[in-house]
Structure 1
Amino acid sequence: MKICRFGDNRLGILDGDKVRDVTPALAVLPTCQYPLPQHDLLIAHLDAVRARIFEIAADAPIVADADLTLLSPVANPGKIIAAPVNYQKHLKEVLDSPALHHDNQINHIQRAGLFLKAPSSLVGAADGVALIKLDRRNDHEVELAVVIGRTASNVREEEALSYVAGYCIGLDITIRGPEERSFRKSPDSYTVLGPWLVTTDELSNPGTLGFSIQVNGEVRQQSNTSDLILGVEQLIAFASSFYTLHPGDVIITGTPEGVGSIQPGDSMLAQMDGIGQMRVEVRAAPQPVGR
């Protein structure tokens, strides 16, 4: 099943090349009171929501294309966990280019570990990317995003995929510079997730997915998840050995070689086998007004 969020926090499923509005299925979600849970409510109860979707989908209205403004498929991830230099060719690319590493220490992922991005950086495809620090280089990075489906701690690699709710395309937008990764990668809109969540019954093997990104029609990055240094199972095991993972937590798995600069006015088209494609527009964020 391909599940999306759109418009005014409505819920949809992909039916062929159209989206059906199945928002009434959200009625099965429990009511929460303060303090709110540490997980995403939809992802935590995805099985119940999907069961209700199956009951109502045939009669659900089709959403007009003009109304399909795609939000992030996950509304409230507790954590966005990211994998640095997790493709061998990208590792070499970063090491060889001062414009990418800025004298930061670059280690193999097994030594560098993972890092966190602010959940406030998360947007959907229709929101677009609003660039800040326009005097510095802002880069696109396309990657497979893994959405955790149930609480996980100290997970073994051989069991890791059973903790996954589904997969999305992820864009990890990056400001180049000397600061720590999490700081440079966490401005508002610098994490794009979409276009929908593909559940594991439709995508059972995340280890052989071809993917690419074009900017203004030019292919910039093109690779396959088979080239990951640490695959999805290893990343889940690695992350869960440090953090408890909760439903809705997102792991973005790393980007291949070919990262490049984006500017206001650019149009990015990201594609991934088994998931689909999403177009994301780039604009300038409102700039500070001088005193």
Structure 2
Amino acid sequence: MDGFGVPGQALASVNTTLKDMGMTNDTQDRVWLITGCSAGFGREIALAALAAGDRVMATARRPETLAELARTGGARISTAALDVTDSASIQAAVQATLAVFGRIDVLVNNAGFSGIGAVEETSMEELRSLMEVNFFGAVEVTKTVVPTMRAQGSGTIVQMSSLGGRITFPGMGGYDATKHALEGLSEALSTELAPLGVRVLLVEPGMFRTQMSSSLQIAPEMPAYQATSGELRKMVAGVVGAEPNDPAKGAAAIVKVLDAENPPLRLVLGGDAVDALRSHHESLLADVTAWETLSRSTAVS
């Protein structure tokens, strides 16, 4: 799971990762606003931004959880409370960022959670909760920041999606639906904002050693789904702490792609994600090819 070592060691480790990836440590002085920084990707992205010489507004529902991170960054980091389900909290955090740093160059929508349960096993309340945080929360934070970036004529919105934003898995239909929704809206948003100088980056991680796997919302299990979502439950339980990817390296990759001359709309993170996505798209293309004649038969004669 996430390593929380002493602050100096944490930042030194991120600096080493950035150098290993061929990145300089020249000060760029961008201002980042990051949601969900208490652990996992949010914390590691904040550390990577600091290591790149940038400034960070780190946020969390409980800002007291950010004390160690704040000590790590010194004067280049500030913290604020931000609950993505609370409009007033979102507005306050954005205004606090502008008051402290004067601008927002990178927004990272990282706050979110996951759940396991077949569609029938998952209650409507649980589905709405997932959508409220992972989709509507990210969208409202985005909409609150966009006017600032539009006025600046620059900025990048980083949406922390998932491999589940492109592929669905039995037992994760609710979570995958939130990420599919976020990807669809963000792809349209990227086209709308590109002429205005604002970019969108969708990050699609595979399995990383964060707290995600150990803090899942678990729906009651039904015997009918033991062979499908039940198998996913077993897989996730067995992989906790042994996920194949390092979130610090993932965070460094995100910083690197922001510096690219021609950054992608989507950044897939992790060999597991690359392999699964390639296989998925090959299967989709095979279906299109196999049924192409019937698909084209609908043309008006």
Verify same fold: TM over 0.5. Answer: no
Mark the structure with the bigger radius of gyration.
Answer: 2
TM-score, normalised via structure 2 length = 0.27
TM-score, normalised via structure 1 length = 0.27
Structure number having the greater strand percentage? 1
